[in-house]
């Protein structure tokens, strides 16, 4: 460790580390464009200039290693003048089109511009124009006029995805980011360049002109698109007289799981959440009142006591799984988690994507839930009622010749045929909280619980009503039941904030 003085305050920092890293870690505002923790230093934007006592001229913080006793100034007349001049150069050819820019409200250039107050241009010659609305591919649109050439996107495709689709073309103030001739941005993580772009040069076709960011509410969640369980921000908003809508997923920093990035398929999977808005309770294909459908479920369980099979999804949370187990024990119900399409050998890669498409499949063996085909076949031979929980693939049981009563508790379903006795909607992934174990054994809690406009209850609430107890929340389930499981080595609910790792 080393001791340095920053703007009159003594800080204890890591000796040899980059100065910008320690300044940002201590919440000291240091303007920057090209530096990013996942991409490292580049030193081309010069915005992170600081004064260091003993140096003849200002130095860039992103390429200055820390030494014991350094005295640094990030503010003051001299260094402020330097930063102002650099920012003016960045703005020379910028269109200043904030009112129509998708990045407005979360743009670094806009923030620095407002801090410095460069409201009048001193440029006497016409601005150099670039191409607008350039389709780079992979849902990414480029506005060359807004680009500050930080090269974050270029370094991402070169160093992270190793695909190298992007580069800098031409020289001086005619330099632009573009794809190489005849190629498109096409890697499965391409939309991360939109998050990396500090200005509005790279925007998402999917989110472009959909919603101003200051209207969005943000909640933290876990992606359920595969077993990696990447950390997300869920941005949603409810317009007047309209239903609550999710407008985008964004990666949330998690050094243990996904770092700063997520795959494009996981990012766009929010569309499925929005498609569930019109889903209604059905009894033999006809729309039913939700409360009546709940009562129908309880009557069916009592009528087929000891002859029922629960076929559960591996996307259920830990809390939901243990409550389903308790319900199964009370009503003498066989439990299975067999899913023929859980693994997809064409999906995974060596970065973040996993062949295991479940969000909590690793919890099944830990909780003692069987997922074999043999166990399912054995149970179906005796069952008079099959209840699909968290899934709607009724064909899984019909294909083996089962033609008796089927009930579905799911958040998205296209089953309307009369052969299905009951379809009861339950809250979808972003509308209910839950904890999940990812492919590497990290236990994470998804706190996102957006209000369901249709009144669909969570699975925990439905089970609590059947059991006749008052355990409705994840914390209550964890403290009453999960905390005592041997496979959870005394992990408390509050410990989930740090994503503890368990042995699989």
Q: What does the pLDDT average to over 168-188?
A: 90
- The residue among 424 and 417 whose pLDDT is bigger is 424
Structure confidence at residue 392 (pLDDT): 85
Q: What does the pLDDT average to over 288-298?
A: 93
Are 452 and 462 spatial neighbours (Cβ–Cβ below 8 Å)? no
Structure confidence at residue 415 (pLDDT): 57
Q: How confident is the model at residue 347 (pLDDT cuts 50, 70, 90)?
A: very high
Structure confidence at residue 343 (pLDDT): 95
List Cα–Cα distances, 443 to 226, 266, 318, 389, 437, in angstroms.
15, 19, 9, 22, 4
Structure confidence at residue 417 (pLDDT): 59
Average pLDDT, the chain: 92
- pLDDT tens digit string along 469-495? 989 899 999 998 888 777 777 889 999
Structural domains present in the chain: 2-91 (3.10.20.740), 98-204 (3.30.70.20), 225-274 (no CATH), 282-498 (3.40.50.740)
Structure confidence at residue 275 (pLDDT): 83
Q: Which of 121-130, 146-155, 443-452 has the lowest mean pLDDT?
A: 121-130
- Which of 21, 9, 18 minimizes the C-alpha distance to 75? 9
Structure confidence at residue 357 (pLDDT): 96
Determine the Cα–Cα distance for residues 149 and 178; give it in Å rounded to an integer: 11
Q: How confident is the model at residue 395 (pLDDT cuts 50, 70, 90)?
A: confident
Q: What does the pLDDT average to over 306-312?
A: 94
In this model, does residue 163 exceed pLDDT 60?
Answer: yes
What is the greatest pairwise CA distance in the chain? 87
Q: How confident is the model at residue 379 (pLDDT cuts 50, 70, 90)?
A: very high
Q: What does the pLDDT average to over 92-106?
A: 91
| Count of helices and strands (H, E) across the chain | 14, 22
Q: What does the pLDDT average to over 457-466?
A: 95
Indicate yes or no: pTM above 0.75. Answer: yes
Q: What does the pLDDT average to over 203-228?
A: 96
Are 387 and 407 spatial neighbours (Cβ–Cβ below 8 Å)? yes
Q: How confident is the model at residue 120 (pLDDT cuts 50, 70, 90)?
A: confident
Tokens of 230: 């990447």
Report DSSP letters for 210-257, one per residue: T--GGG-EEEEEE--SSTT--EEEEEEEE-TTS-EEEEEEEE--BTTT
């Amino acid at each position: 460790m080393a001791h340095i003085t920053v703007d009159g305050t003594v800080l204890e920092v890591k000796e040899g580390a980059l100065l910008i890293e320690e300044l940002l870690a201590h919440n000291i505002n240091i303007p920057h464009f090209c530096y990013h923790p996942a991409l490292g230093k580049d030193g081309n934007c010069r915005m992170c200039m600081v004064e260091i006592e003993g140096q003849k001229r200002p130095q860039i913080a992103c390429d200055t290693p820390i030494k014991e006793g350094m005295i640094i100034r990030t503010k003051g007349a001299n260094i402020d003048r330097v930063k102002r001049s650099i920012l003016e150069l960045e703005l020379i050819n910028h269109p200043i089109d904030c009112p129509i820019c998708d990045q407005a409200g979360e743009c670094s250039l806009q923030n620095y511009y407002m801090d410095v107050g460069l409201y009048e241009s001193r440029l006497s010659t016409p601005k150099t124009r670039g191409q607008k609305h350039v389709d780079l591919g992979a849902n990414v649109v480029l506005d060359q006029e807004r680009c500050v050439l930080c090269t974050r996107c270029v370094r991402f495709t070169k160093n992270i995805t190793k695909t190298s689709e992007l580069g800098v073309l031409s020289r001086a103030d005619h330099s632009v980011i573009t794809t190489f001739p005849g190629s498109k941005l096409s890697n499965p993580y391409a939309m991360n360049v939109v998050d990396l772009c500090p200005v509005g040069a790279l925007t998402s076709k999917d989110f472009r002109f959909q919603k101003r960011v200051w209207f969005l509410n943000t909640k933290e969640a876990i992606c359920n698109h595969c077993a990696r369980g990447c950390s997300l921000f869920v941005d949603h908003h409810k317009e007047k007289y309209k239903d609550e809508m999710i407008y985008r997923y964004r990666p949330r920093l998690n050094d243990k799981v996904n770092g700063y990035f997520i795959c494009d398929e996981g990012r766009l999977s929010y569309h499925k959440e929005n498609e569930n808005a019109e889903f209604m309770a059905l009894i033999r294909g006809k729309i039913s009142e939700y409360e009546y459908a709940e009562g129908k479920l309880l009557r069916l369980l009592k009528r087929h006591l000891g002859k029922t099979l629960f076929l559960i999804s591996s996307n259920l949370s830990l809390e939901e799984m243990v409550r389903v187990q308790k319900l199964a024990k009370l009503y003498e119900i066989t439990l299975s988690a067999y899913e023929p399409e859980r693994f997809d050998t064409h999906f995974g890669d060596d970065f973040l994507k996993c062949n295991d498409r479940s969000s909590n499949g690793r919890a099944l063996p830990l909780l003692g839930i069987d997922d074999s085909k043999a166990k399912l076949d054995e149970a179906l031979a005796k069952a008079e009622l099959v209840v699909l929980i968290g899934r709607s693939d009724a064909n899984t049981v019909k294909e083996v010749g089962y033609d008796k009563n089927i009930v579905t508790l799911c958040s998205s379903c296209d089953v309307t045929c009369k052969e299905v006795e009951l379809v009861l909607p339950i809250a979808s992934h972003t509308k209910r909280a839950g904890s999940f174990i990812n492919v590497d054994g990290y236990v994470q809690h998804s706190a996102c619980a957006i209000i369901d406009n249709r009144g669909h209850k969570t699975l925990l609430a439905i089970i609590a009503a059947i059991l006749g107890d008052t355990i409705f929340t994840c914390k209550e389930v964890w403290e009453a039941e999960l905390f005592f499981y041997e496979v959870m080595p005394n992990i408390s609910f509050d410990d989930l904030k740090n994503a503890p790792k368990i042995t699989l």
